[in-house]
Amino acid sequence: MKRTAFFISDGTGITAEALGQSLLAQFEYIDFEKITIPYIDSVEKARSVVERIDKAAAIDDGKPIIFDTIVNSDVRAEIRKSQGYMIDIFGTFLEPLEQELGSKSSYTVGKSHSITGKASYNRRIDAMNFALENDDGARTRYYSNADIILVGVSRSGKTPTCIYLALQYGIKAANYPLTEDDIVDQRLPEVLRKHRQKLFGLTIDPVRLQLIRNERKPNSKYASIKQCNYEVEEVELIYRRERIPFLNSTDYSVEEISTRLLMMTGIERRIS
Amino acid sequence: MKRTAFFISDGTGITAEALGQSLLAQFEYIDFEKITIPYIDSVEKARSVVERIDKAAAIDDGKPIIFDTIVNSDVRAEIRKSQGYMIDIFGTFLEPLEQELGSKSSYTVGKSHSITGKASYNRRIDAMNFALENDDGARTRYYSNADIILVGVSRSGKTPTCIYLALQYGIKAANYPLTEDDIVDQRLPEVLRKHRQKLFGLTIDPVRLQLIRNERKPNSKYASIKQCNYEVEEVELIYRRERIPFLNSTDYSVEEISTRLLMMTGIERRIS
């Protein structure tokens, strides 16, 4: 059984893709070829998409499934002429929403990506620069500007989390690696003690950590299971003793670590 | 007019939030308070959410709007008992999809985030590390491993784009800044010539570039409009002469730059 799924949008297609993927993941025994077609913002462009859909329909074992987030109803109507089965997100929900809200929608193409607003955009890029410049303990003197400071052993997921927090939520996140020196001292470095209320710990399963480190530095002491066990154990002790909230990142994606961190800390997103 | 919008999910809530934001952006004259509630994966948790919704309903000028991407129908049914107006995404589309596909859905909580699969996860993190280590021309000897190499003047958006391509699509993107030296030479540096087919240029409106640079180094030659004009003009000449595909990043978000770059280059995403 082979079917094609189209994610079609007048913008980036990221929302249509995310939603479509969620729904299709529920049908694990069907093999979908997934095609994202962004920036379909005119009837002419829609016509060429219809051709692609109809070609797939002629070959596949069933109608192509279309997930679309196109705002303009003329463009949607054009897509509807295809041989595909349409999951029409705006078409389905916009009218009931208009009734519930007692207000007409503005049908403005591009409006759907509020993230492009200049203020939000600058906040995200500033936060990203902050994450890059304050990565891995490289610089500590701007910690007073940080919304959060991630701590953890090397390769526990700090950097990707900081960058995701910046990009998705405009949050300024620094990170500081806890090393053997800190562990031997049995106390937090001075520079972190001053910002205790901003600290958030990551931890990780030592076996997983070993695998990750071994890809970086094969057969090193750094990547030995003994060293990984030792560092993780000691760092978790520090978290508990210092009452630093922490999360085990082993089974989580960057998105999951970030959203759970927001829940646990109550930090506000900087873009809306 | 004040209304509350809830984005509720059994996972991160990112999809519910993106879709809800898209739809609400169509009602620009209504002031929404937006609340994301992730990880609602039990009837008990759903009950506490219903309390929050009902509290908002009692205060607001109308029913709270609920956008949910909860897979489990029992949990959804609990949310439905609230005073909110429910945009029930799985409830609306899953049954018609089952009919069209002739297959029952697996209703598996968490399935919706296929991005968490270990292989995809590793590919994203590898790509992110690649972007960080091959940022800003810091290292050029691994360009043969790159999927794409972004070029452009300083502060034209190369780094955020590389990182986004890594995180969202698992694409390995390096970037190399074109400086005055390259401009004076009137030719591409040798290290880029060897990988011509991987090059993609960014350009930017000089006035916008000046603003961005001025925040970094106020009143410098680097941030002067004269310098910005000169660099942008010359770099665009290089793009045209060398037939490097390029994009003006001025009015685009990181998501838009990235998706347009995929369209223009035909590069395949590395995760699906």
ipTM rounded to 2 decimals: 0.89
Report CA Rg, chain A.
24
Our CA-based measurement puts residue A235 at a distance from the nearest CA of chain B, in whole angstroms, of: 23
Percent of chain B with pLDDT over 70: 96
Confidence band, pLDDT 50/70/90 cuts, at residue B271: confident
Chain A neighbors of B132, CB-CB under 8 A? 132, 135, 159
The answer to whether the CB atoms of A27 and B114 lie below 8 A apart is: no
Residues 6+ apart with CB under 8 A from B154: B177, B179, B213, B222
Prediction pTM value: 0.90
Q: Is the pLDDT of residue B116 over 60?
A: no
The whole-angstrom separation of Cα A84 and Cα A19 is 17
Cα dihedral A110, A99, B6, B19 sign: negative
pLDDT given at position A28: 86
Q: What is the mean pLDDT of residues B192-204?
A: 97
Q: Is the pLDDT of residue B191 over 80?
A: yes
Confidence band, pLDDT 50/70/90 cuts, at residue B63: very high
How is residue B174 written in tokens? Answer: 């390096």
CA end-to-end span of chain B, whole Å? 42
- From the list B23, B101, B113, the residue facing A27 with the nearest CB is B101
Chain A neighbors of B87, CB-CB under 8 A? 93, 96-97
The answer to whether the CB atoms of B12 and A255 lie below 8 A apart is: yes
pLDDT given at position B23: 92
DSSP letters spanning B42-95 = SHHHHHHHHHHHHHHHHHSSSPPEEEEE---HHHHHHHHTSSSEEEEHHHHHHH
* Residue pLDDT, tens place only, B253-263: 999 999 999 99
* Residue pLDDT, tens place only, A23-65: 998 898 899 999 999 999 999 999 999 999 999 999 998 999 9
Q: Is the pLDDT of residue A144 over 60?
A: yes
